[in-house]
Amino acid sequence: FTQRELLAGAGVPMPAYRVAVNATEVESAAAEIGLPVILKPTVGGGSSGVRLCRNVDELAEHTAYLLGGKHIRVPSPTQRKWQSSPRILVEEFAQGPHYLADIMGDQIIGIGTADFGPPPHFVYRESTIPAPLTDDEHERIADVSLSCLRALGLDWGPTGIECKWTTRGPVVIEVNPRLHGTPTAQLVQAAYGVDLITAHIKLAIGHECDLRRRHSYIAGAR
């Protein structure tokens, strides 16, 4: 939620969103945004607890699930704190192709595409790099991604940004100040010959990292 607020303040395009602390607020937010909506916890990872709710029954069911904290498998101190006072993000369902921007510092290394299994859940199924984009589409995703870095004060190391291309163009789903999960780094290395993991280690120990592309192939994982 804090990230959403900072990005919105900087004018970064995003899905409409509200934060809710109980079932009544979730229902009200969904009515304002319009079904279907995405419900997700304000703390978590790996798409745990993220679900598409297409009607009021699914909305009520998943709200109860999140408020009960059942999606948290091994609570960290942060998650335990959240669990005692749960909050839910209610978001517009941004529809369109899903893209991943891999960034080191302020340099965009590559933009890939990702696909998910069937709704209502969001489980990664496959990804390809580079994404089949026109020059204009690539530039617009790059511009939005760099605006996220400025809004969040991210100017060092790896960042993974996810967006969807909607009728409004690219809208930001999330920004992670880290490498994307497996197998994105391996795909970047296979496609461009850039080793993001080694580059990150070199930065961490004060060395210069080499981000030059050695080749330009297409890499995919499923």
Please list the active-site residues: 178
Show Cβ contacts of residue 130 under 8 Å, excluding neighbours closer than 6 positions. 110, 111, 112, 191, 218
Distance CA 99, CA 208 (A): 28
On whether the CB atoms of residues 95 and 67 are closer than 8 A, the answer is: no
Which residue type, as a one-letter code, is found at position 176? N
Strands (E) located in the chain: 17-20, 37-41, 51-53, 88-92, 98-104, 107-116, 124-129, 158-166, 169-176, 219-221
3-state DSSP: the chain helix, strand, coil percent, rounded to 5?
35, 25, 40
Sheet holding 17-20: strands in order across? Answer: 17-20, 88-92, 37-41, 51-53
Which residue type, as a one-letter code, is found at position 40? K
Which residue type, as a one-letter code, is found at position 195? D
Phi, psi for 129 (deg, rounded to 5)? -140, 135
Show Cβ contacts of residue 70 under 8 Å, excluding neighbours closer than 6 positions. none
